[in-house]
Structure 1
Amino acid sequence: MFEPRTALQGAHFSGDITVTDAGLVGMIAIRGSLTDPALCAAVAEVTGHPVPATRKMSGDATDGLAWMSADELMLFCAYGDAPTVAARLVDALGDVHSMVSVLSDARAVIRLHGDVVREVLAKGAPVDLAPDQFAQGDIRRSRLGQVAVAFWMTGADSAELVCFRSVAGFVFEWLSTASQSGSAVGYFATPRR
């Protein structure tokens, strides 16, 4: 039997922001028609979260449900609970056209904290990260550098990011480099035109 471990094995960096491995996180992809009342009812019953609106997230990487695309949700839960929760979802969905997949070991979650979190993300993600355009509860699937990521604000100065496990080391190093002490550009400190 193997001992589960994260791709980043507890990595931590402190600069203008802190970049931290979130540890083992349960992740379950749910695919289907997000407008199907039966799917929405089953998901809400099992997860305790209603199906979020487009580009929204309910909760965080410890207990949350994220809109990932027009036909995909990502459920975040305790790592050890993911197989049981996935089985409950399959049972609740019954004959509803859907797919449920545990992705916990295929993804990594990174936590970001600090006054310039938005600036660090803006250095590599083509997303308008101004507070009036990207608030807590919003999620974006995008890229950071040239790799696929999804991220969301968990507070005014904190965010979480999920990426493929295979690129977690690159994403962590990219974030660490982009948040070297003194590297903030002050973009959000001045009025935008």
Structure 2
Amino acid sequence: MSEVVSALAGARASGMVELADAGATGMITLRGDPAVLGAAVQAVLGLAMPEVRRVVAGEGAQVLWMSPDELLVVTGYDAAPGLAAGLAAALGDAFATVAVVSDARAVITLSGAQARDVLAKLCPVDFADFPVGCLRRTRAAQVAAAVWRTSDSDWSLICFRSVAGYVWEALATVAQPGGEVALYR
């Protein structure tokens, strides 16, 4: 894989939350029958199939439920090609696809007590009952995104790299001090 240059180039910003570019992140899309995908994920990553709208995390990888027939494996950038080959081998002749999409997507992290408020300004999601390990595919302002909660105060948002600058600027704008809404305190 060629060296990737992040759309956000290691950007960081402070406001009501801390925003950070997650940098080069490995991502593998798996499509197919959930039972077949689950068996391959278990065999290669040692992780269980995530439940609907959930994330399963393990040593060096997370598996995100994206739709009834789609998973996204998030891992280290350099690890993605090898894991993809292992997953393809585990799937064998099954009717399924494995695609490394690391260079097509960007990950932005949000940290802080007001992260839900910041996300709620851009995403049409009720974050009131959104436990750690929960995921939603949604929109961030005008673009497709997925957001998941990684801890009590930490969140990750993934979007297409081509619109990462737009999403970053939107998040940085709505996270400015003085815009607190205190919806989720």
User: For the superposition of Structure 1 and Structure 2, which TM-score range results when normalised by the shorter chain?
Assistant: over 0.9
Percent of aligned pairs sharing the same letter: 47
* Distance apart, 1:146 and its partner CA: 1.1
CA distance in 2, matches of 1:177, 1:184: 12
Question: Aligned-residue CA RMSD in angstroms?
Answer: 1.4
Contact conserved, 2:106 with 2:164, CA < 8 A, in 1?
Answer: yes
Paired residue for 1:109? 107
SS at match of 1:155: coil
Paired residue for 2:148? 152
Contact conserved, 2:26 with 2:79, CA < 8 A, in 1?
Answer: yes
Paired residue for 1:28? 28
Mapped pair 1:139 → 2:135 = yes
* Distance apart, 1:182 and its partner CA: 2.3
Contact conserved, 2:26 with 2:76, CA < 8 A, in 1?
Answer: yes
Mapped pair 1:63 → 2:61 = yes
Write the letter of the residue equivalent to 1:145.
A
* Distance apart, 1:2 and its partner CA: 5.1
Aligned length: 184
Where does the alignment leave 5 or more consecutive residues of structure 1 unmatched? none
CA distance in 1, matches of 2:156, 2:89: 30
Paired residue for 1:185? 181
Contact conserved, 1:13 with 1:19, CA < 8 A, in 2?
Answer: yes
Where does the alignment leave 5 or more consecutive residues of structure 2 unmatched? none
Give the direction of change, closer, same or farther, for the CA distance of 1:83–1:143 in structure 2 (3 Å limit).
same
CA distance in 2, matches of 1:2, 1:30: 22
CA distance in 1, matches of 2:172, 2:153: 16
Q: Deviations over 1:138-180 (max 9, x none)?
A: 0000001110000111111110010000000000000000100
CA distance in 2, matches of 1:120, 1:154: 16
SS at match of 1:123: helix
Q: Deviations over 1:52-98 (max 9, x none)?
A: 010000128x6200000010000011100111110111111001110
Match of 1:42 among 37, 40, 43: 40
Equivalences for 1:2-21 in 2 at 5 Å?
Answer: 3-21=3-21
The runs of at least 4 aligned residues of structure 1 exceeding 6 Å deviation read none
Give the direction of change, closer, same or farther, for the CA distance of 1:5–1:94 in structure 2 (3 Å limit).
same
Mapped pair 1:125 → 2:123 = yes
